[in-house]
Structure 1
Amino acid sequence: MIRAALLMILLGGAASAQAVCSEDVVSIRGDFGQARFKVSIADDPAERAQGLMNVQSMPMMEGMLFVYERPQSPQFWMRNTLIPLDMLFVTPDGTITRIHKQAIPLDETPIPGGDGVQMVLEVNGGMADRLGIAVGDQMQHPSFNEDAVWPCE
């Protein structure tokens, strides 16, 4: 009940989740329903290296989307990252294949994303569980090509 009410408040109703794609928004859909995150894009080596380092807080429905030129096996760490994060690892077609929950601030232990990952969405730690986001859910963003499981309209 509380989660459903939270989702309705966060999404502003189901219609807003159907909005046209834009560079600063990532949409996710799955058995839980749909959610939208306002994102900053990290799509070059310098931006990806910086990531969310030294960020002291982040609004609830915001995050950072790491975009790679081609599928790969990325590894992350939390060096100089001050807030816990959930990391959603995504294939080129927009399918979430792995979720690393509650990455520990300042921990330098490598966090592997698995093979074939082209995008990684970092959101506040605990957000995946709070919303019910799971492996197999689908992501929508203009960075996905025409083969996306949930293409932009």
Structure 2
Amino acid sequence: MNNGRSAAFVVAVGLVAVVLLGYALYPVLALSVTGPPTDYERTTVTAYDGGDGGDGGGRLGSVDVRIADDRVKRYAGLSYTDSLGEDEGMWFVHDGTDSRTFVMRGMSFGIDIVFVSANGTVTAIHHAEEPPEGVDGESLSYSGEGKYVLELPYEWTTDHGVTVGDCLDAAGYDTTCTS
């Protein structure tokens, strides 16, 4: 009887391990089977000075963004993109606020990586240069805290005066920095 329970326990642990491994590898497997995502929804993200949602600090700039709101789109990110236009980017949507790390996987150009709280306040900005020739972008990581992450053309935040504490208001999201 004891051996039967031990065997059942080992089988159960093995099944849990297989399920967890499948969950972790799902984005990679999905991309290898279906290719990069092409059906992105879009929105506009507008930056305001001072995190006030535009109630006095002034508008700093706007970008048209693709929305990455599922695991496959977030994993693919901009990896399959050759370049970004002057005022375009990608808006990563997560279920909640957490510490996050983004990498330059498959990138052939530099970007700004902006971490954003649930209400739209900028919490961190990284200027991620194009990975040097022969360097795996997976090894170039940038961390911050947020529910959202905005990726923009390299130095966009500098050119538009966006700093930590400013507000990013994404159309269709509760990101006016007032809550």
* Structure 2 length-normalised TM: 0.64
Q: Which moved more, 1:39-48 or 1:104-113?
A: 104-113
Higher helix share: 2
Runs of 4+ in 1 over 6 A off after TM superposition: none
Aligned residue number for residue 109 of structure 1? 140
Aligned residue number for residue 119 of structure 1? 148
Cα distance in 1, alignment partners of residues 141 and 66 from structure 2: 23
> Which protein has the larger Cα radius of gyration, Structure 1 or Structure 2?
2
Shift of 1:32: 6.7
Any stretches of 5+ residues in structure 2 without a counterpart?
1-40, 50-56
Where do residues 4-153 of structure 1 align in structure 2 (5 Å cutoff)?
23-30=42-49, 33-105=59-131, 106-107=136-137, 108-114=139-145, 117-145=146-174, 148-149=176-177
**Aligned residues: percent identity?**
28
Shift of 1:143: 5.0
Q: Does the Cα contact within 8 Å between 1:52 and 1:81 map onto a contact in 2? A: yes
Cα distance in 1, alignment partners of residues 59 and 172 from structure 2: 22
Shift of 1:148: 3.9
Query: Considering only aligned residues, what root-mean-square deviation do their CA atoms show, in Å?
Result: 2.2
Letter in 1 for 2:162: I
1:63-109 Cα deviation digits (max 9, x unpaired): 00000011111110001011100011000011001000134335322
Any stretches of 5+ residues in structure 1 without a counterpart?
1-21
Cα distance in 1, alignment partners of residues 173 and 100 from structure 2: 18
Aligned pairs, number: 127
Shift of 1:33: 3.4
* Structure 1 length-normalised TM: 0.75
